Amino acid sequence: MSNSTQPYITAINSIANELPGNNLSWLQNTRNNALKNFETLGFPNQKNEAWKYTKTNVFGKKQFSLCEKPCVALLKEDISHLRDDQYLNLVFINGYFTPQLSDKNTEEGLILTNLQQMLCDSSETIQPFLSQYSDIKNQSFNALNTAYMNDGSYIKIQNNQVIKKPIQLIYLTTQQSTPAMTQPRNLIIAEPNSQATIIENYATFGESEHFTNSLTEIITQENSSVEHIKIQQECSKAYHIASISTYQHKDSRFTSHSFVFDGKLTRNEINSVFAEEGCECTLNGLYLVSGQQHVDHQTSIEHVKPNGTSKQTYKGILADRSRAVFNGRVKVHKNAQKSFSEQTNDNLLLSEHAEIDTKPQLEIYADDVKCAHGATVGQLNPEEIFYLQARGIGYKNAKELLTVAFANDMINKIKVETLQKMLQQKLSNCCTTEEI
């Protein structure tokens, strides 16, 4: 449709023969369909309601090429700020799985491997799941990711298994000479009664322009529980588009925590479908933006079946001329009686030039439901600043303290202790460096 997509299509076509599993017809079909959809859809424009506040013309202008494999081999020490020996780490550099930086799976009842491996060796086990849960038809970024689908992670937690160690997927982009992109792809299956914590950590080495377009599909089978933590700490020249699609079976629990600390443009989409009764979905988010950064959260929860609970809590701190968008959609279908849904989005504006567009979007077709939503936009309270000053705490320090306090409860929700500490450090760094 539009010429802005053409370079991306050409790039994908040129490597189509090298993509993993290219001998599998089902996979070829999936990729071809996705590419066709991407071509038809083009990059979304602002006439599209879901993209009203977030411009995508940069992707046409910049023409990000596919990232090269890194030429220098990194050592574990080089990424010690991301890796944690207490986790099971799977490391991807420029989108390519890097075994020498990753951990061997030591947990019983867990399959943890890179997607490429699965596509080459046991494609039949993932065929029923891969690309079944995300919207490839209408979402051009999902389509783009699927058309390329080169590597990422495959995680399966087997029946009744509780995985104690957090699993961390590290997606690191190194310095690029020209604007380049990665397309991480994750498939997570939690079998009945299983439980796991999974971290997706996105970071950059250096300060070069790059584009990450990730897609994660999560299936929570009966009575399983998945805690998902996503950290966006790519550099301030990064364009980051991420989509998570969750499909929930009976009595399953899905909790997502999203942290955005950096990036020029960040868009996080989360969709969850309650395919069966008694599901629970908790979405938490914290975004800190300054300068001219732009962050956009789009959530969508489909209460298709009765007795589902969804809770969304998003908080934002906006400094300078930054901008944030929050759109929380909840749809309670006709049969989804006894649904409970609540949603809040609280924002702290540290500058009069910062801007937030927040909107709940409730579509309720059942009658016996409880739904609540609320949004706030505020500044630091001068009474609180003065109280601290009157006790001897300096003005700047008082403001930092109150800014951290606003956000802290989002971090305290993280039960992995080392991660909680790391996030607290990150938060306090952001609050001291930002012009507040």
- CB nearer another protein, residue 169 or residue 286: 286
Residues 6 or more apart from 190 whose CB is under 8 A from it? 157, 196, 218, 219, 220, 221, 224, 225, 226, 252
Strands (E) across 191-234 are located at 195-204, 210-220, 225-233
Distance CA 75, CA 93 (A): 12
Q: How far is CA 263 from CA 91, 202, 245, 319, 398, in A?
A: 20, 10, 22, 14, 27
Is residue 404 a contact residue for another protein (CB under 8 A)?
A: yes
- CB nearer another protein, residue 365 or residue 386: 386
| Structural tokens at position 276 | 């069966």
Rounded least distance, CB 397 to another protein, Å: 8
Rounded least distance, CB 133 to another protein, Å: 37
Residues between 170 and 209 that touch another protein (CB under 8 A): none
Is residue 286 a contact residue for another protein (CB under 8 A)?
A: no
Is residue 26 a contact residue for another protein (CB under 8 A)?
A: no
Residues between 344 and 403 that touch another protein (CB under 8 A): 381-384, 386-395, 397-398, 401-402
Bridge partners of 188? 155, 218
Rounded least distance, CB 333 to another protein, Å: 37
- Contacts with another protein by CB under 8 A: the residue count is 23
- CB nearer another protein, residue 210 or residue 399: 399
64 CA to centre of own chain: 20
Is residue 420 a contact residue for another protein (CB under 8 A)?
A: no
- CB nearer another protein, residue 47 or residue 391: 391
Burial 240-254 (b: 16+ CB within 10 A, else e): bbbbbbbbbbbbbbb
Rounded least distance, CB 317 to another protein, Å: 12
Conformation bin of residue 286: beta by default, left when phi > 0, alpha when psi is -120 to 50? beta
Rounded least distance, CB 404 to another protein, Å: 8
- CB nearer another protein, residue 172 or residue 402: 402
- CB nearer another protein, residue 26 or residue 386: 386
| Structural tokens at position 163 | 């995985």
Is 403 within 8 Å of 350 (Cβ atoms)?
yes
- CB nearer another protein, residue 50 or residue 398: 398
Rounded least distance, CB 389 to another protein, Å: 4
Sites of contact with another protein (CB under 8 A): 381-384, 386-395, 397-398, 401-402, 404-406, 408-409
